[in-house]
Amino acid sequence: MSGACTSTTVELKPLVRLVAVPAILLAFASSAVAAAKEYQFDSWTTENGLPQNSINDILQTRDGYLWLATFGGLVRFDGVRFVVFDRSFEGIGSQRLRALHEDRRGTLWAASEDGMLIRYRDGHFNTFSSQDGLPHAGAIRIEEDRFGFEPEIVAKVARLGCRVYEAGVSCARRTHAEG
């Protein structure tokens, strides 16, 4: 049979299988242990500087800080120490924080359990509440739409009694003849 391909099936004997399978499993297990040694797990508590031992949300901002939302305030961690921002800081109206968000411009937003929205921009805090037009609600969810519409603008427009509707606008090039 000239030019014909043949295939050969080789069966492992039971003894070879008995040795090969555990050896393969051992190789995978040792590589998993080596990978686990590359990572370090830390546990942070009030002894390390947290205002309390429960964290509601964690966010790493583009400047490298870890921000933690707690019921004891907003916490910034630089990898070494914790700085707690609570109601004793100007511009912070609530310290019972549930959610964090960094918008596309780098502004940090924190939503409180009692319906307030705290903005941290350029080293300053500002709190928005129902007095600024936010709804009388419990916790606020922070989401940024694809247009990047700022929550403080929504709050100010809502205070005027207006409703905000978004309409997606897209532009495509057209020729002069198409109008």
Q: What is the pLDDT of residues 76-116, one digit of tens each?
A: 999 999 999 999 999 999 999 999 999 888 999 998 988 88
Q: Among residues of the chain, what percentage have pLDDT more than 90?
A: 35
Q: What DSSP designation does 12 have?
A: P
Please report the pLDDT score of residue 31 as a whole number. Answer: 64
Please report the pLDDT score of residue 29 as a whole number. Answer: 66
**Does residue 16 fall inside a structural domain?**
no
- Do residues 84 and 48 make contact, with C-beta atoms less than 8 angstroms apart? no
User: What pTM value is reported for the model?
Assistant: 0.62
Q: Which of 8-12, 44-48, 94-98, 128-132 has maximum average pLDDT?
A: 94-98
**Does residue 99 fall inside a structural domain?**
yes
CATH number reported for the structural domain that contains residue 138 in this entry: 2.130.10.10
Handedness of CA 162, 164, 167, 169 (dihedral sign): positive
**Does residue 28 fall inside a structural domain?**
no
Residue predicted with more confidence, 72 or 114: 72
Based on its alpha-carbon atoms, the radius of gyration of the chain, rounded to whole angstroms, reads 28
Residue 141 has pLDDT above 70, yes or no: no
Please report the pLDDT score of residue 168 as a whole number. Answer: 46
Mean pLDDT estimate for the chain:
75
Please report the pLDDT score of residue 166 as a whole number. Answer: 45
Tally of domains in the chain: 1
Residue predicted with more confidence, 143 or 129: 129
- In the chain, the amino acid numbered 170 is S
**Does residue 116 fall inside a structural domain?**
yes
Cβ-based burial of 41 (10 A; exposed 0-12, middle 13-18, buried ≥19): exposed
**Does residue 79 fall inside a structural domain?**
yes
What domain range includes position 82? Answer: 46-159
Confidence of residue 126 (pLDDT cuts 50, 70, 90): very high
**Does residue 140 fall inside a structural domain?**
yes
**Does residue 170 fall inside a structural domain?**
no
Q: Among residues of the chain, what percentage have pLDDT more than 70?
A: 55
**Does residue 37 fall inside a structural domain?**
no
